[in-house]
Structure 1
């Protein structure tokens, strides 16, 4: 079978949650997934009630098992390389040359993080180099912590992390663009601004030992927060979907994109990147898609 009511691109938390919602609504649904979630290095997931402390894989494996129980939901392993608009809806072509068709499309494809060219950074990403204090901050509370950022983003992030530890460094990775008032405020709160360029992160199995700077300076840290660039995992412009200025897929309050019949949910739509948020968005999106299908057929 290659024709479905709905194709969901991405089989992680948002995609599986949308799939369960649609499966329970008796919608013939296909979930296409590459099996490479962005949090695959993360040892534990937090701030998701009933699942706090489990590995991301534990949560997704259980979710997939539960979604597979619904006969109307099918899975295809692979990456979507091309999306096309058709007279009846949409076509998704995968890396193995398969083509699937559906009336509705749910983009739950997540994002890909673009790592800086700092040796050791990628190996520590999701383990001791962290993106979210809500997901991981409690586990490194009151520890010596760094923030790799600068400007308004670095300054605002410092306020958030300062609540979790008072032993804090802001690493601007070169001359800082912070204003004098911002620098003074950091100093008042004993947050050390380090303007040296980072040379490498020394670590053991992804756990930071120290930050080494090009000046020869070194700082021992337990954790480093970092805001890094990202890109969409699939080319949504193929079917005309718009992106926000920040690079997220633009959706309305019903998770609808600017293209009728195309919805998006999860990390590809919001800066609030968490398992709990993605799961909630997916559940809601599945319900909205089912409602639209019901109204069209009634």
Structure 2
């Protein structure tokens, strides 16, 4: 079968991309490997009408609504590669048959590389976060730590005092200059220069000298990367920024490869559910319009 569109990634961006295509009665296949980026967080915040809902429930309801359209099919699998064809694209599936489509939307998300600090991975998405807008309010003005991974930690440290008294844990990553020190002081941010040995307890930073700084929550900036064999196989251009690498797209979510679109965390720096949904909607609309106007 030749689908109108194949969407690789069935999380928030991919599901949002599917909806306008399904409503246009286009033949659509969603291929999903089942690894939502926010799978470690129990609840999602900041998404209008869904603030505080279980993250998994938002995705499950969206999937059920998409699959109610009879032109949509779903495949629980991993896409391992792709190549152009005369009709569009052929997508290789791990352990399965090749699927073909006229258009392709990449919504496969990113992989986060966390700071190499013992105890941090077990608390990721629960007591350790990356987005203050997603998780800051729930700390109820409690004590907040920012674990630096680079000078980018300044951004989080200057934002977070609106959510609680904040301490910047430099952890040997950088030394603030005079201007940065003045900015931190103006925002009331405390500075801890000592190395962090591990994260223990609820969200306690255990320093190399044995001191323990107790926090209600910690924030840090992981390095993200697009681990998409499909994007690599097709030669999609990447954009590098301070937080990692994403797929380069234009305002309509088109990649550097004709008829390939990308959306969600894989195609923007900084991630949240509402941003992913908006991105996906635009990608779905753009893919549909490319099908319509390419025919004339």
Task: Quote the residue 2:247 is aligned against.
Answer: 249
Q: Give unmatched runs, 5+ long, in structure 2.
A: none
Cα distance in 2 between the residues matched to 1:156 and 1:209:
21
C-alpha deviation, 1:262, in angstroms: 0.3
Task: Quote the residue 2:68 is aligned against.
Answer: 69
Structure 1 stretch 7-16 or stretch 170-179: which is displaced more?
A: 170-179
Cα distance in 2 between the residues matched to 1:182 and 1:282:
37
Q: Give yes or no for the alignment of 1:264 onto 2:262.
A: yes
Cα distance in 1 between the residues matched to 2:284 and 2:249:
14
1:101 is paired with a residue whose SS is: strand
C-alpha deviation, 1:29, in angstroms: 0.7
Q: Superposed, which structure 2 residues align to 1:282-297 within 5 Å? A: 282-297=280-295
* Cα deviation code 1:124-148 (max 9, x no counterpart): 1111111101111111141100111
C-alpha deviation, 1:150, in angstroms: 5.8
Q: Superposed, which structure 2 residues align to 1:3-14 within 5 Å? A: 3-14=2-13
Change (3 A) 1:154 1:115: closer
2:136 is paired with a residue whose SS is: helix
C-alpha deviation, 1:280, in angstroms: 1.3
Change (3 A) 1:144 1:103: same
Task: Quote the residue 1:120 is aligned against.
Answer: 119
Q: Is the 1:151–1:177 Cα contact (8 Å) retained in structure 2?
A: no
C-alpha deviation, 1:181, in angstroms: 2.6
Q: Is the 2:23–2:69 Cα contact (8 Å) retained in structure 1?
A: yes
Structure 1 stretch 38-47 or stretch 152-161: which is displaced more?
A: 152-161
Change (3 A) 1:95 1:131: same
C-alpha deviation, 1:111, in angstroms: 0.5
Q: Superposed, which structure 2 residues align to 1:72-151 within 5 Å? A: 72-149=71-148
Cα distance in 2 between the residues matched to 1:145 and 1:230:
23
2:239 is paired with a residue whose SS is: coil
2:246 is paired with a residue whose SS is: coil
Q: Is the 2:167–2:190 Cα contact (8 Å) retained in structure 1?
A: yes
**TM-score, with length taken from structure 1:** 0.94
* Cα deviation code 1:107-165 (max 9, x no counterpart): 01110111222121111111111110111111114110011126542222222112222
Q: Is the 1:162–1:168 Cα contact (8 Å) retained in structure 2?
A: yes
Q: Is the 1:33–1:79 Cα contact (8 Å) retained in structure 2?
A: yes
Task: Quote the residue 1:277 is aligned against.
Answer: 275
Q: Is the 1:175–1:195 Cα contact (8 Å) retained in structure 2?
A: no
Cα distance in 1 between the residues matched to 2:267 and 2:140:
29
* Cα deviation code 1:42-89 (max 9, x no counterpart): 011011011110011110000000000011110100111112222221
Task: Quote the residue 1:156 is aligned against.
Answer: 155
Cα distance in 2 between the residues matched to 1:272 and 1:186:
22
Alignment root-mean-square deviation, CA: 1.5
Cα distance in 1 between the residues matched to 2:188 and 2:249:
41
Task: Quote the residue 1:183 is aligned against.
Answer: 181
Task: Quote the residue 1:50 is aligned against.
Answer: 49
**TM-score, with length taken from structure 2:** 0.94
C-alpha deviation, 1:216, in angstroms: 1.2
Q: Is the 2:264–2:275 Cα contact (8 Å) retained in structure 1?
A: yes
Cα distance in 1 between the residues matched to 2:173 and 2:287:
49
Cα distance in 1 between the residues matched to 2:137 and 2:38:
18
Q: Is the 1:150–1:178 Cα contact (8 Å) retained in structure 2?
A: no
Q: Is the 2:203–2:217 Cα contact (8 Å) retained in structure 1?
A: no
Q: Is the 2:128–2:203 Cα contact (8 Å) retained in structure 1?
A: no
2:168 is paired with a residue whose SS is: strand
